[in-house]
Structure 1
């Protein structure tokens, strides 16, 4: 689940050099859309994934068009402050009773939980679904980026937006598509989160969003495989910390890892240093 959120961070940063701190709240909106799709309309799981991904993508495209595009050529600090403002707006606006409400909601699981013990390790079908969906999403993303025309445009804009525009690439369209694609993955992650931890609220995206950002930096922000690798390391570190030390340190280990990586290899495990041309 960290990987699905981290991929959105790393793609957006790779294209426009922006840390979209509202991304965790888009993840939250995806979870709520899935909740209503299951609770109110009793839709099958594929339709739930489609609604969550589509709704999150639409929200991200609107955010990019309204909040980020007018500041594209402004100082980076302005875009960063705007991203934090959009995040706070989404959290408190959706907490209104007229929207989602401030309460916790029990997320209805669309299937029964089945456990299987292998060599003393308990594995559930929920964990299997999360792994399969995450790997399938990563494979689909790799295909889009490296085997499609829009993916070629994404790589061109990431390398040099001005030159890409001169060569006929619709830069604004590519950036909007990148925001939407990353948000769709976050929406899928929101569904998986609701199934795995069946309780959601409007502030649920804060900590997963921060940890996914840390995972993206750990793996090398701007690198798609790096985001996935960083998320796996993050998840394993949290699990091992809980098992062998204490759950009290579970959240702290993420930021200890972030500090260590920034001191040891600021570009991340798979990241590459960019040469700034004058």
Structure 2
């Protein structure tokens, strides 16, 4: 059994890191908003999905222009990422301004229900527009960076099998790491990042210290939504097919990653996303072996959520969260 698991380990790690990078960046949107407002923005998964559709639409629209087709594929991808990030960032700001800000002093259950309503609204809106334009809500994204490279893991240790990695996986992981490092630097080393941390710690006191709380909250939604939209583009390029419902289950898993790492902790969300992606790919490859055929790869989600439950039983604040003592 152990030998069979080790055979697939290199491929599991590659696929897990690729998927985990997606979970980690989407989880950042959840954890940033929760840290500022203590709001679970369940519409964030749909912002990720909207980014995938916007990026694909830009690719398909500009693909007919000679100057765009003549560009190096990586340059074209970066341009689409920037455009999509800006559009989804402003979408997130608009959602906060219209749906969440008027309910800021309402009970948290009201804002939670509102977030779920915005989620369904975005799903149906994207489905309506896509069916109107394409006749089908399932869209095939442009095939880019499909070249595969063999990683000769067997030369390192004979028990390993060789692994295959696509160019798109390398690009997704590299760009994902750049975005996560840039966000961590922004939050911890810049003036606006300091303002975000101050608002997260005590909103009323931050306002008394001349911090514009509304601007900080809008910036938080912009950054989280921009990162989510860019990740949607990378997801479409990596996996090829998108539909208006990809954001639901992926958003739920990203939220799980944020909780696993410690909701409200940015670095915890990153580690939680990577860990969840690796665990999911490990379960997909080896669950049948571990259960002697009782469970198949389709139970990988159960395996991942079971790990989450175990973590929360023994460390309810998450892996990187801090226990908070409530004073009465």
Deviations 1:79-132 (A, max 9, x none): 111111111111112211447875211100233423222211222222211111
Deviations 1:218-253 (A, max 9, x none): 011111110011111101111110111121112222
> Given the alignment, which residue of 43, 46, 62 partners 2:94?
62
What is the match of residue 120 of structure 2? Answer: 88
Q: Which moved more, 1:142-151 or 1:104-113?
A: 104-113
Is the CA contact (8 Å cut-off) linking 2:145 and 2:168 kept in structure 1? Answer: no
What is the match of residue 307 of structure 2? Answer: 257
TM-score, length-normalised on structure 2? Answer: 0.82
State the alpha-carbon separation in 2 of the partners of residues 12 and 244 from structure 1. Answer: 35
Greater C-alpha Rg: 2
What is the match of residue 60 of structure 2? Answer: 39
Structure-2 change in CA distance of 1:256 and 1:101 (3 Å): farther
Is the CA contact (8 Å cut-off) linking 2:203 and 2:213 kept in structure 1? Answer: yes
Is the CA contact (8 Å cut-off) linking 1:25 and 1:90 kept in structure 2? Answer: yes
Cα shift at 1:52: 1.5
Is the CA contact (8 Å cut-off) linking 2:146 and 2:168 kept in structure 1? Answer: no
Structure-2 change in CA distance of 1:59 and 1:102 (3 Å): farther
Is the CA contact (8 Å cut-off) linking 1:223 and 1:270 kept in structure 2? Answer: yes
What is the match of residue 48 of structure 2? Answer: 27
Is the CA contact (8 Å cut-off) linking 1:218 and 1:257 kept in structure 2? Answer: no
What is the match of residue 6 of structure 1? Answer: 27
Deviations 1:42-86 (A, max 9, x none): 351111101111111111100000000111111111111111111
Structure-2 change in CA distance of 1:102 and 1:20 (3 Å): farther
State the alpha-carbon separation in 2 of the partners of residues 37 and 277 from structure 1. Answer: 52
State the alpha-carbon separation in 1 of the partners of residues 174 and 202 from structure 2. Answer: 34
Cα-Cα RMSD: 1.5
Is the CA contact (8 Å cut-off) linking 1:95 and 1:101 kept in structure 2? Answer: no
What is the match of residue 199 of structure 2? Answer: 157
Residue 62 of structure 2 aligns to a residue whose secondary structure is coil
TM-score, length-normalised on structure 1? Answer: 0.96
Is the CA contact (8 Å cut-off) linking 1:126 and 1:196 kept in structure 2? Answer: yes
State the alpha-carbon separation in 2 of the partners of residues 94 and 236 from structure 1. Answer: 30
State the alpha-carbon separation in 2 of the partners of residues 101 and 187 from structure 1. Answer: 24
**Structure 2 unpaired stretches of 5+:** 1-21, 69-75, 154-161, 288-295
State the alpha-carbon separation in 1 of the partners of residues 236 and 121 from structure 2. Answer: 22
State the alpha-carbon separation in 2 of the partners of residues 87 and 100 from structure 1. Answer: 22
> Given the alignment, which residue of 68, 71, 75 partners 2:107?
75
What is the match of residue 253 of structure 2? Answer: 211
Within 5 A, what are the aligned runs for 1:111-190?
111-119=145-153, 120-190=162-232
Deviations 1:180-233 (A, max 9, x none): 101111111101110111001111111110000000000111111100111111
Is the CA contact (8 Å cut-off) linking 1:100 and 1:202 kept in structure 2? Answer: no
Is the CA contact (8 Å cut-off) linking 1:214 and 1:254 kept in structure 2? Answer: no
Residue 276 of structure 1 aligns to a residue whose secondary structure is coil
> Given the alignment, which residue of 91, 94, 103 partners 2:137?
103
Structure-2 change in CA distance of 1:165 and 1:102 (3 Å): farther
What is the match of residue 231 of structure 1? Answer: 273
**Structure 1 unpaired stretches of 5+:** none
Question: Which structure 1 residue ranges, 4+ long, deviate > 6 Å from structure 2?
Answer: none
Matching of residue 268 in structure 1 with residue 302 in structure 2: no
